[in-house]
Structure 1
Amino acid sequence: MATNNVSFRTARTQQLAEALQDARHYTLRLFDYFADAGLDSPLRVPQLRIVNPPLWELGHTAWFAEWFVLREAASSHPADAVGNSLLTKGDDWFDSNTVPHRNRWTLDLPSTGGVKTYCHEVLDRVLDKLSREASVDEALYPYRLVLAHEDMHGEAFLYSLQTLGLQAPIQLTHDEQDYSTPSEIAFPGGTLHLGSAADTGGFMFDNEKFAHSCYVPPFRMDSTLVTNAQFADFIADGGYDNRQFWSLSGADWLMRQERSAPRYWERDGNQWHTMRFGQLMTLAAHEPVRHITLYEAQAYCAWAGRRLATEAEWEYAALSGHPAFRWGQLWEWTASPFEPYPGFSPDRYREYSQPWFGTHQVLRGASFATPSRFGSAKFRNFFMPERDDIFCGFRTCAWNR
């Protein structure tokens, strides 16, 4: 994916215009991988709770931009938007707040060509309106919001391609990163301003508001993520069979899944292989282990005599400037449940965070599929603990002795 290095949070008018075009081009490109496999029709898409019909998801990204930019919605509440959708039934089809997930397979959606035309028309109007905006944070907020939203859905498209065993852009199917030798870093701890400061300027998500003082005791953390080779040692030592390593929730999940290795791993004699975007390949020992649930990460840590970092520890390490601490290869599970910061209140996209507090777990960092403009040490990703379709891994941590 073509990206620019300017954060979407502070991008100005021209930078936003270029990024919005880039994001839409990329979304359409990924959609074509589903279409090439005959999955442009929702009726042909397996009805899984972790995917959306690609045609619905494509239309939803354009509708979201239309809602918050063109219709100047003050919130995600139906009464807070101006005028009607460009599509006669746009709100009935693509509003994720009013269209239950299970219903997205049976909607009378427009044709693939019709949805693509809608995407192009919305983008053209968004860009025209953006060209006349003042380059100030308040005016640019909805544009930054819809860009972030489309970037997140672009990565979700990749999750779905992996889940459904479909081809993806070649640069994302092979690991070409230069991984450093793992080491342990001792951090002295201290007071951290966890979250985004009110006077920072630019865009911030509501769950980052606002920065508040948090004391972080001294701790030690791995410089890199746990690798496939390290996780294979856990498996070889009976990690999936020894219930003492698993939490009660993890043991319950394991019993229901009958899992004995991470998702997509296949053993061929003494060699592990993995299925990656529909292709079976040898598992690279040096790569970070990916497609790991929170429960598997916790069990590995228990086996290794370690633990997951809290999100405060992770943010402290990421902002420390330590040259050995690397992040951005995979989303990283933390030990922190997804909860609001003190004084939380929802922003215009009211359902972005609030419905998920208390049920989801925080992940930090970014993945190889995350645009560089999106990455931030302040960003709080969040998923259910059992999700392993996302590009997630983990690193271990310990109290400082």
Structure 2
Amino acid sequence: MVKLNQTVLLELHADMAWIPLIQSVVEHGAPVLGLDRSKTLRLTMAVEEIVSHLSRTAPGTKIDFSLKPRGWHVLTNFSFQADPSGLWAMNLATKPNLSDPDDLDHLGLLLASRMVDGFTLHLEGEVVHLTLRQDCSYPLVTPEPGEPIRAKGKLTIATTPEPALIKAACIRALNLYPAHKNHSSFSMPGKVADMAAQKDLDLALALDETGALAGMICWHVLSERGIGFFGPYVFCQDDRAAALLTEYLIQRVARTKAMGLFSELATPELATREFESLGHLSYRTASRTSREEVWYRHLGEDMGASVWAHPSMVKFLETAYGRLVLMRNIQVTEGLGETLPRRSVFSTRLRPERGEATLLPMVTGADAKDCVARHVETLCQENFPNIFFKLDLAFGWQAALGGALMENGFKPRLLLPHGGKSDLVVFQHDTA
């Protein structure tokens, strides 16, 4: 499919009369940018519901809208002035009261959040920026058990692999590694090739002298100063492959502005002598509990920073920073009666094959404690026993959520230096 790399811009006001126009823009524009009919229909419905909601709750407000291609997905961006807590119905745990007229006015948002593959929300002064992501459709590959090859001759790195090699490497990883060790997109190799072309995912492949695939490692930029990696995935019986790929990764990212490199999914072949452990996360299934070790490497001199923390997090942070020998000025923050948005909004990323759900705060409202509890209840009912919550310590409003999380059974498990705008703390819900 040929996809045009062009952005569509539209300026309108929140009024029901403009809904047919924005429907038409998405309905006719999204296919040109790469979405199939089904995905286009779902995105059109979501966009319609957003404008309809604003027309009822913030009539007349100016909306800046864009439809933008991103290679493997399409983004729709809305910028407007309105109460951000009015978007509460986009929460995964939303259970509207059908007898409450206010809740009924928000039902369209519930539909909108379910029609797309993801959303983000952030505030810039009084302006709300809402982004909906709709992924392109790709064929799924079913894993078939395989065996590692016997590599021939010297191993080399393919630094800019062609799409065919990338797709073949994804299939090899699927065949040789369990689902919980693979990047979530490996089952759609064409998507990974497009992600690499878009620079949303970087890859390096190891080849033997015959050109046969010997291994792969991949990484992506999480922030200006933090990089996460997956692997290394080894497809041969040669111990050199993992070390070669790991060393290449370190050399590549060391040339960037990044300060920290850490594993999002580390395989058993990772040469851990190059890294230090940040700790582990526990993964539960119906039959057992396993550990996922997280590995970290400094990439440059850390000059120190100031971070925010809820009082309940301070002891954990002091211990973690002391172990990593990182200089941080920990500033304490908590609610002291200030006015907050009435409702909270959280974004949820799901990985069903790992029984994993990761929550990210978009808006922290007065109902934060109850909103966290509702999400935990919903996710446990839907068979997601591994529930995580990430807080960026650059933002006091996020750090202040630490208290509500710990009151709901979450415990701080990992500190990820430079994992966001500043350091990230990963909380895990303790279902024991």
Q: Using structure 1 for the length normalisation, give the TM-score.
A: 0.28
Structure with higher Rg: it is: 2
Higher RCO (CA 8 Å, separation ≥ 6 residues): 1
More helix by percentage: 1
More strand by percentage: 2
